[in-house]
Amino acid sequence: MDAMEKNGRGDAEFSILDPHGRHREKKELPAYFRDLNLETVLDEMAFNWGSAVRELFHYLPETAEDEKYRRAVYGDVKKEGVFRALEAFVRRTDEAEDLRREKEKVPGTLQHSVWQVREAEVRCAAMMELKEALDREELSSQGLLTFRDILRQKLFSAGESAVRERVNGIMKRIRAFRMVITCEKDRIRVEPGTAAGEYGTLRGEGSGIIKNPFAATPLLTDLEAVCLQVLTKKDPGFFREIREVSDMVGDRRDPLADRFRKEIVFYLSFDTFRREMEEGGFSFAAPSVTESCPFMARGLYDLALACVFRREGKKVVANDFACREGERFFVLTGPNQGGKTTFARSLGQLVYFARIGLDVPAAEANVPFFRDIQSHFSVEESVETGRGKLKEELVRLAPMMEEKRQGTFVVINELFTTAAGYDALIMGRRVLEHFIRLGCMGIFVTHLKELASAHEGAVSLRASLDENRVPTYVIRRGEAEDVPCAETRVKEHRLTYEQLKERLS
């Protein structure tokens, strides 16, 4: 089970995102990110965990096996105890990094020694606490089990224990050290030790703690430095020991812990976000990935829209769908403002979050493996490029239809709206047939109702209206139909006797 031993790799080769520990180069933002409004979702995650998490979401794991590795890790991260432990580890490691940056500003000084000892203390504690917390948890993912084994080996080497002991000893003395400063008659007097009593008035109102006016800079001010000089003369042994311990511990940075810190926030940021959304009443599910079962979801919603609605206290309309044998492409028609684009987005998001190895915004889902996601959303005609809208669309569409894009999931929203109806239908039919032939699955949102019956692999979906012709945002299977134009609604004041009885009851 120990992946490290099995593969004979070093610590730094361990990755919590990839079972083979591969490093990924920085990737540009995938094209579908904007179309699926995934940026909105990433904003939420970056809000709590910093913008460095963003790029972890920019690439999908390569194989179904990689996806499974991540899903198992995320299954463990969702456990309350594991989440808290990992979160604490990240905070601790960040604290150590802050200390390292402080120390590097003052090389060779006594202050450098103190920062170095503290940094070592925090790094040891971060690893130790994480190991202890993980020991208490039932882990089931290969990723976290391997990481825990590596931690155990590291922490229990003999050298490591000795360092911990000396670091803790000197830190205890530093923390216990006190001195008294007396300002009077234009002089300052400094003595080691404590002073009795507390400022006599207003006792109990506040703790008597005074903010250090020089706290803004981590460096010593002249005043602090002169005070320190007086002290080193009075107690030279203490300050000598600080230097000795610092020289002994040296630089405690660890490539394994560093990489783990960078990567684990992928799971933590998503899980923080998931918890917040669940508190707002939006559900998430771990998708199953059974190839033999149909592609389906129940209670699927647009996560980006939900982010906005949660702030406004509104609910989203959720939808269900399931593919049947041989069905490859959804063709969605319906009235304007009927929820078509939202549904198409939610479908794309479903595939994205399943593929990246996390939970999906639905109550239940089965998502087969897709190699990648592609999207094509109609945009406003661009004045800058000077190309007509149709041309613009075709330029963007062409690379999507290449042979190498087979097996992808395709989201198309309104193609060829500026072309004549006859042409548009023929082009639409060809695009659809092409993608089906490439073994892609996807959704095609369109105004062309004839497209729904253009291919046997196509499933006709419709955005439905209620009896008053008001959009319900519910998407169902159904024959495409002509859409009524504008509907006028008569304002009523609801003041008849019966209406009033009902209103006042």
Partner 1 sequence: MNVCLLYRDSDRPGNRAYEDADNIIRDLGLKALFQDSARRLKTDSGKVLSVEEEDPFIAETMRRVMMIPLSSREEVEYRHAVLKDCIRHEDLVRTLYLISCRTLEEWNMLGRGGREKAQQVNPAVKLAESICALRLLCDSLREIRELAAGEDRESGKPLSEGFASEGFRSFFRRLREVFSEEREREALKVLEDISFFMDGGDGGGYRTIKARIVLECGLEDGLKFSSMKLREVSSESLRFFRPGTTMKKLQDLKYSRIPDSFPVDKDPRLSEQARQLEFSVVCSLAGRLNDFLMPEFQTFFDQLKIQAAFYLGAVQLKAQLERFDMDVCFPEVSDRRTLAFRDLKECVMGLRQRVHVIGNTCDMENTDLLIVTGANQGGKSTFLRSIGIAQVMAQCGLPVAAGVFRSGLFPRIFVHFTRREDSSMNSGRLDEELGRMDRIVDLIGEGSLVLLNESFATTTEKEGSLIAYDIVRALGEAGVKILMVTHLLPFAKRMYDERKDDPASGTAFLSAERTLEGIRTFRMIPHPPEMTSFGLDLFEEIVEKHLDGHGGARRE
Residue 221 vs 382, nearer CB to partner 1: 221
470 Rama class: left (phi>0) / alpha (psi -120 to 50) / beta: beta
For residues 127 and 318, give the distance between their C-alpha atoms in angstroms, rounded to a whole number: 43
286, β-bridge pairs: none
Is residue 465 within a helix (H) or strand (E), and if so which, with residue range? strand 458-465
Q: Which of 438, 440, 432 is nearest to 416 (CA)?
A: 432
Minimum separation from the CB atom of position 196 to partner 1 (A):
8
Q: State the amino acid at position 11 in one-letter form.
A: D
Minimum separation from the CB atom of position 491 to partner 1 (A):
9
Residue 398 vs 495, nearer CB to partner 1: 495
Residue 136 vs 233, nearer CB to partner 1: 233
Minimum separation from the CB atom of position 502 to partner 1 (A):
10
Query: Which stretches within 137-189 are classed as H helix?
Result: 142-155, 158-176
Contact between 323 and 296 under an 8 Å Cβ cutoff? The reply is: yes
For residues 30 and 372, give the distance between their C-alpha atoms in angstroms, rounded to a whole number: 10
Cβ neighbours of 346 (radius 10 Å): 29
> CA 51, 68, 9: angle at the middle one, nearest 5?
80
Minimum separation from the CB atom of position 87 to partner 1 (A):
25
Residue 219 vs 395, nearer CB to partner 1: 219
Minimum separation from the CB atom of position 312 to partner 1 (A):
22
286 Rama class: left (phi>0) / alpha (psi -120 to 50) / beta: beta
Q: Where does this chain bind partner 1 (CB under 8 A)? A: 102, 110-111, 114-115, 118, 174-191, 194-199, 201-202, 205-206, 208-215, 218, 220-224, 226-228, 230, 234, 493-497, 500-501, 503-505
Residue 28 vs 205, nearer CB to partner 1: 205
Instruction: Kindly tell me the sign of the dihedral angle through the C-alpha atoms of 85, 91, 97, 103.
Output: negative
Q: Report helix, strand or coil for 133.
A: helix
C-alpha R_g of the chain: 31
Which residues, 6+ apart, have CB-to-CB distance to 178 below 8 Å?
A: 192, 193, 194
Minimum separation from the CB atom of position 107 to partner 1 (A):
14
Minimum separation from the CB atom of position 166 to partner 1 (A):
17
Minimum separation from the CB atom of position 160 to partner 1 (A):
24
For residues 265 and 56, give the distance between their C-alpha atoms in angstroms, rounded to a whole number: 9
Minimum separation from the CB atom of position 120 to partner 1 (A):
14
Residue 52 vs 226, nearer CB to partner 1: 226
Residue 250 vs 281, nearer CB to partner 1: 250
332, β-bridge pairs: 445, 461
Residue 23 vs 501, nearer CB to partner 1: 501
Residue 184 vs 467, nearer CB to partner 1: 184
